[in-house]
Amino acid sequence: MPKKILVVDDEEKIVAIVKAYLEKDGYRVAVAHDGKQALALAKREKPDLVVLDLMLPEVSGWEVLRALRGEAKTPVIMLTARDDDADVIAGLEMGADDYVTKPFNPRELLARIRAVLRRGAGEEKETAPIEVGGLIVDPSRHEVFRDGMPIALTPTEFALLELLARHPGRVYTRLQLLDLTQGDAYEGFERVVDSHVKNLRQKIEPEPGRPRYVLTVFGVGYKMAERFDE
């Protein structure tokens, strides 16, 4: 069945263009022009991905993003009015999977959507569960457990954790993590990785301030711990 995308923007022209591109590519599309309508549609339609403008009437895009992250792990690509690092970092730390800066080429947005949905679906190969220090990552079911308790991750967080868990002890630079988890269509900046790692630690680490699993290699990047001494 075709994936369903919810497009949220108060500029009707942008919504119409994006909707036309997505439908031409085979997606089902729902649209909303304000935050209140977006929340109602997200609850009723249960989209596979949300394209979300941050500057919305009624309820802001920030509030919509916070609400979405509080209830589900639906992927979110945020639209920002300018290339503002502070806005981008804030959105990513709230749980957005990716961002596109206005004005944007609809083809770029389409490529980002495909990449995020591909991460959410996972790869067909190497689907056996991965276990590291009481943490279980199951690629086939797209599930994570710590000490038997389920942990809900966004597709980007899951892709990052799966990559690190497959290669404990291997150090990845931020640029490598961007390339390997975000794909060739992504042209972001390396600080994006820090935001996703921060979110990931908040969810999987017993003490996020003293990470046990995802370790920082200062001046280089990140790695999954190899030893888990009690």
Which of 17-31, 87-101, 131-145, 155-169 shows the lowest mean pLDDT across its residues? Answer: 87-101
Q: What is the pTM of this model?
A: 0.64
* CB distance 193 to 161 below 8 Å: no
The CA–CA distances, whole Å, from 5 to 23, 104, 134, 146, 167 equal 10, 18, 35, 31, 33
pLDDT band, very low/low/confident/very high, at 77 (cuts 50, 70, 90)? very high
Res 40: pLDDT: 92
Domains of the chain, start order? 4-121 (3.40.50.2300), 130-224 (1.10.10.10)
Closest by alpha carbon to 159, among 188, 202, 130? 130
